[in-house]
Each structure stands twice: as C-alpha cells, then as structure tokens.
C-alpha cells in the first residue's frame, strides 16, 4: 500500500475519527467542508496534458463559474467528474466517501451528479412534462413503468420543476415545438428531476436571446443554495451578471480563483484570457 492510498480521503477520516461515522460505504457523506474534492488531477491524451495537476474544491450550495480559453481543459474536467474520462493521476471525491475515479458513469449519476450537455437533447415528440417523467429518478423496469401510472406526488414534482425553470405553461406542449432557450431550460429541468446534489452545466447560454440569457442567469442563481452548481461558460458578460466565485483554467490547471473583480484585475488572467 503506497502513501497516497493510505491517505485517501475516505481512509483518513476512519483513522482520525474512529466510530464517529454513521455513513455506510458507498453512501454520500456531505459532512466535510466541501462537496467535491478534485486534487492533483492529470489527464493526458497522447502526451498532451488536457489537465495538469488540477486542484479544485466545490462547497455545498455554491455557484461556481469555470472560464478559460479553448483547450484550457474545461470539458475534460467535467468528463472526469462524470466518469467519462479516467484521470492518469490524482483523486476525485464526491463528499467524504465516494471515489469518483472508481465509479461508472451510471453510478455517478445515481450518486447525485447531474450534467447538462451543451446541445439540448430533449425528446422532441414528448411533451415537456413527459420529458421530465422520463428523466425522473425511480424504478425504470418495463413492468414497473407499465403498471404504475404517475402518482399525485410525482405529478406535483414535475409541475414544480417545470415551474422552477419557468416552463409550467408549456406543460403539455411538445418539446420539439419549444424555442431553443426553452429546450435548454427543459434539459436543466430533466437533470433536476434526478435530484442531483451537484449540477454541472455546459455552456448554458449558447444561442440564446438576451432575455433568455437573463432568465438563465436568474435560474442558475435560484438553483444554487439547494444544489451546488458548476457552470462552464465563455461569455464574460454572463459570468459578471451571475457574480459568483470564478475559477480561471489555463493549460489544464487553475490560473486564478476568486471574486469576479479580483480575477478580472489579476495581471496573469489579463494576459492569457481577458486581455485578448
């Protein structure tokens, strides 16, 4: 057993606080200061280091924006968290106990990490409400879905989630007929139906009108608090408008982190990204 294994996050606490843990293995333990711990992550593709010794912590209920020029490793970082890409080095823990580098994509999704992809992929011939019904957490066997219609509580949850993203009046509209922005919100609502603790949002405002962008900013701020939200975005204007903690990535590692004003005035950041 090497040194790193001995000091893995889930082991350390066992030794330090024997008998105090009531969380079963495999269950999410949010007792620590942070919800997500990424430490010293390195990912390389054919010698190119997409992530280079990246360390990042996300607090519960935080709204975090990740910016950086193309190729800074933003998408690779998301892929590591969701289990799509395995890091060559480093650890990635969700809460105190869940080692994301050892879990499959479905297990990670089940543990409470939801990801909204860049391109909206709603089911176009289902209504908005039916899209949420499909995404809802719960039993997904053929027999269960055949004999159990939605109960009142589940129907209320669908309506409440649609209300959260401002699509309640589109409840029975076919998703294919929604505008681009509405599809994006519907997709966010679909992720919310899985009741995630951590919500990863990839470029949420691509192709949106000004009003839709404002609405999206409000929505993301509203979601933070109950969920931790990580937003990857290019648009500086948008990030300024949601005024949260910003992490700037450059060449696969963190270049700067802090409040938007501080980051904006950081000479290193100005040089590589903002100044261009």
Partner 1 sequence: MRHSDLKTALTDRAARWFIGILFGAVALVVLLNQLIPADSGLHVSSYTVTLLGKYLCYALLAMALDLVWGYCGILSLGHGAFFALGGYAMGMYLMRQIGDRGVYGNPVLPDFMVFLNWQELPWYWLGSHSFLFTMVLIALVPGLLAFVFGWLAFRSRVTGVYLSIITQALTYALMLAFFRNELGFGGNNGLTDFKDILGFSLREDSTRVALLIATAIALALAFVLCRYITGSRMGRVVMAVRDGESRARFLGYRTEHYKLWIFTLSAVLAGIAGALYVPQVGIINPGEFSPLNSIELVVWVAVGGRATLYGAVIGAILVNYGKTVFTGIMPEAWLFALGGLFVAVTLFLPRGLVGLADNVRQRLRKSDGNNSNGTANDDQPEAPHEPA
Sites of contact with partner 1 (CB under 8 A): 106, 109-110, 121, 123-127, 129-130, 133-135, 140-142, 145-150, 155, 171-174, 176-177, 190
Q: 164 is written with which tokens?
A: 């959260």
Closer to partner 1 by CB, 1 or 147: give it.
147
Closer to partner 1 by CB, 144 or 259: give it.
144
User: Smallest distance, Å, CB 186 to partner 1?
Assistant: 13
Q: From its phi and psi, is residue 167 left (phi > 0), alpha (psi between -120 and 50) or beta? A: alpha
d(CA 168, CA 186): 10
Residue with tokens 């109950």: 226
State residue 249 phi and psi, 5-degree precision: -100, 145
User: Smallest distance, Å, CB 176 to partner 1?
Assistant: 6
Closer to partner 1 by CB, 41 or 192: give it.
192
DSSP string spanning 224-238?
BTTBEEEEE---HHH
Q: End-to-end distance of the chain based on CA atoms, in angstroms? A: 48
User: Smallest distance, Å, CB 230 to partner 1?
Assistant: 19
Q: 251 is written with which tokens?
A: 């060449």
Closer to partner 1 by CB, 179 or 222: give it.
179
Nearest Cα residue to 176 out of 120, 133, 215: 120
User: Smallest distance, Å, CB 96 to partner 1?
Assistant: 25
State residue 158 phi and psi, 5-degree precision: -60, -45
d(CA 181, CA 236): 19
Closer to partner 1 by CB, 19 or 152: give it.
152
User: Smallest distance, Å, CB 73 to partner 1?
Assistant: 23
Closer to partner 1 by CB, 159 or 274: give it.
159
Strands of 113-116's sheet in order across? 113-116, 198-202, 228-232, 63-67, 245-250, 253-259
User: Smallest distance, Å, CB 127 to partner 1?
Assistant: 7
């Amino acid at each position: 057993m090497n040194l790193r294994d001995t000091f893995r996050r889930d082991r350390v606490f066992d030794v330090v606080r024997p008998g105090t843990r009531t969380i079963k293995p495999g269950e999410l333990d949010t007792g620590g200061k942070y919800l997500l711990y990424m430490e010293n992550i390195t990912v390389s593709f054919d010698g190119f280091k997409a992530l280079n010794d990246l360390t990042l912590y996300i607090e519960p209920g935080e709204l975090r924006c990740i910016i950086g020029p193309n190729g800074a490793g933003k998408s690779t970082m998301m892929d590591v968290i969701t289990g799509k890409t395995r890091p060559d080095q480093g650890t990635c823990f969700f809460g105190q106990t869940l080692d994301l580098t050892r879990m499959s994509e479905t297990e990670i999704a089940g543990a409470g990490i939801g990801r909204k992809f860049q391109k909206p992929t709603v089911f176009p011939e289902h209504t908005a409400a039916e899209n949420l019904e499909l995404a809802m957490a719960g039993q997904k066997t053929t027999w269960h879905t055949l004999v159990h219609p939605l109960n009142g509580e589940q129907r209320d949850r669908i309506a409440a989630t649609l209300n959260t993203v401002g699509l309640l009046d589109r409840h029975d509209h076919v998703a294919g007929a929604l505008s681009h922005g509405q599809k994006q919100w519907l997709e966010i609502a679909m992720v919310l139906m899985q009741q995630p603790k951590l919500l990863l949002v990839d470029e949420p405002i691509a192709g949106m009108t000004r009003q839709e962008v404002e609405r999206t900013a409000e929505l993301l701020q509203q979601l933070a608090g109950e969920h931790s939200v990580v937003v990857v975005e290019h648009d500086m204007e948008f990030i300024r408008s949601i005024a949260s903690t910003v992490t700037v990535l450059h060449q696969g590692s963190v270049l700067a982190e802090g409040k938007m004003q501080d980051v904006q005035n950081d000479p290193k950041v100005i040089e590589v990204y903002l100044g261009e």
